Amino acid sequence: MFVLGITGAIGTGKSTVSGILAEKGLRVLDADEISRMVTGEDGRAIPEIAEVFGKRALSSDGSLNRKYVSSIVFTDNKLLDILSSIIHKYVFEYMDEELQKEREKKTKCVVLDVPIPVTKGFVDHCNQIWAVTCDDSIRLERLVRRGLEREDAKRRMAVQMTNDEYAALADIEIDNSGSPEELNEKVEKLIKEQLHERGIRI
């Protein structure tokens, strides 16, 4: 089974690239989506988060209190690292289980959509990695249009890896500083060059 990793910082369009591949029929394991699941009501990560960050970190329904937790972790890198390590552990545990199921089904290709390209659970599973990058000023405007306060968007961008760091660990860099049509053309080209050539018809 060919495992394709898609990664990139917030606002680069990583999820758009994964969305194109999903529309083509590939199974996409989206780390953000799985993260919401493991931090939702009765999620796998909830007991450990409550133990580390206290009961205030949970909402009344037993899910992660995102507003409160965001307010403390995005101004303290140490706390952000602790929260990230807890959530990542359960996200990748779930991904491992799903990858095994797909192998048993003889699936030809699965996509891992992961914003933070950790070695264990992502890089070590991927046969190839595509990093989606984008000019920082364009990323900022996209995030503001998405509803984030400008300063909050800047803070979130500041704690992530740079475009160069993403590009350095990837096999292929996709620059998404242009139009949606240009991005679609780039992805279609890569599908033909990288997937069709490996016998993966989508």
Q: For residue range 68-122, what is the model confidence (pLDDT) as tens digits? A: 998 888 788 899 899 989 999 999 999 999 999 999 999 999 999 999 898 988 9
Q: For residue range 15-70, what is the model confidence (pLDDT) as tens digits? A: 999 999 999 999 999 999 999 999 999 899 999 999 999 999 999 999 999 999 98
For the chain, the structural domain boundaries read 2-195
CA dist 127 and 174 (Å) reads 17
Return the pLDDT at 185: 98
Q: Quote the percentage of the chain above a pLDDT of 70.
A: 100
- Structure-block tokens of residue 69: 């937790």
* Nearest C-alpha neighbor of 65 from the set 79, 54, 74, 76: 54
**Is CATH 3.40.640.10 the classification given to domain 2-195?**
no
Return the pLDDT at 96: 95
Return the pLDDT at 201: 87
Stated pTM of the model: 0.88
**Alpha helices (H) along 74-162:** 77-104, 136-145, 150-158
